[in-house]
Amino acid sequence: MMNRTAKITTGVTVAVVAVGLLALTAPAVVPFLPHSVQVALAGTAEPIDTVPGTVDELLRANGLGEHEVLDSHVSHADVEALYVASAKIWPWTLPTGFKFPGRRGVADTPGPHNRAMGLQSAFSKWAVASLDEVRSGDLGAAAGADRLNEVEAAYRVLFDAGVLGDRKFIEKAVDPLRADGAPAPASDEPSP
């Protein structure tokens, strides 16, 4: 009886130590796992409900406000949190029926991540959905043109804030969807 109790106690101790070691090493190991395994470990997430905020609120939520002095290098979990924060207060018009996915759907990678990555992901998901809605023709000509102008304005705000860096985005993704294929007329008004 004593031998059986000792074996059970030893087994439980080994299991507890193994679980503890796994918990300590998981953050270091997960980035090296295949994306599909990372997704399975993370589980599912409900789509995000958006209550539109302002551009200033969006930038502040990402540590990009006028007087922010936050570290630009963050963890994968921080990037996910910044993506969710951005999606919750997205200030631009959402396409019909669109909700931001609960997660970015990007695998973790070793090393530090940039603070702007969450906001970049939110812009990308929104811009793709917005451009798809225009491309579908469901908006009509005038509303489609308005949406393209809004995508361009959002891009310019985020480009000016140092979040986005593809100088050819408008030329490659927005201008081809304009009715006449020409760029939007220049505005004398500053970006919002």
Q: Render pLDDT for 28-55 as a digit per residue (tens, 0 to 9).
A: 444 444 545 544 545 567 889 999 999 9
Q: At what angle do helices 117-136 and 141-160 cross, to 10 degrees?
A: 160
pLDDT of residue 172: 95
pLDDT score of 84 more than 50:
yes
Q: Is the dihedral of CA 27, 31, 37, 38 positive or negative?
A: positive
What would the 3-class secondary structure string for the chain be? CHHHHHHHHHHHHHHHHHHHHHHHHHHHHHHHCCHHHHHHHHCCCCCECCCCCCHHHHHHHCCCCCCCCCCCEECHHHHHHHHHHHHHCCCCCCCCCCCECCCCCCCCCCCCEECCHHHHHHHHHHHHHHHHHHHHCCCCHHHHHHHHHHHHHHHHHHHHCCCCCCCCHHHHHHHHHCCCCCCCCCCCCCCC
Domain ranges of the chain: 2-32, 55-177
How far apart (Å, rounded) are the C-alpha atoms in residues 100 and 90?
Answer: 10
Q: Which long-range contacts (CB under 8 A, 24 or more apart) does 172-177 make?
A: 173/127, 173/131, 174/131, 174/148, 177/131, 177/134, 177/135, 177/144, 177/148
How far apart (Å, rounded) are the C-alpha atoms in residues 8 and 108?
Answer: 38
How far apart (Å, rounded) are the C-alpha atoms in residues 155 and 149?
Answer: 10
pLDDT of residue 3: 75
- Are 150 and 170 a contacting pair, CB within 8 Å? no
Q: Is the dihedral of CA 100, 101, 102, 106 positive or negative?
A: negative
Mean of pLDDT values over 106-124: 85
Higher pLDDT, 186 or 122: 122
pLDDT score of 126 more than 90:
yes
pLDDT of residue 66: 61
pTM confidence score: 0.71
Q: What is the CA radius of gyration of the chain?
A: 23
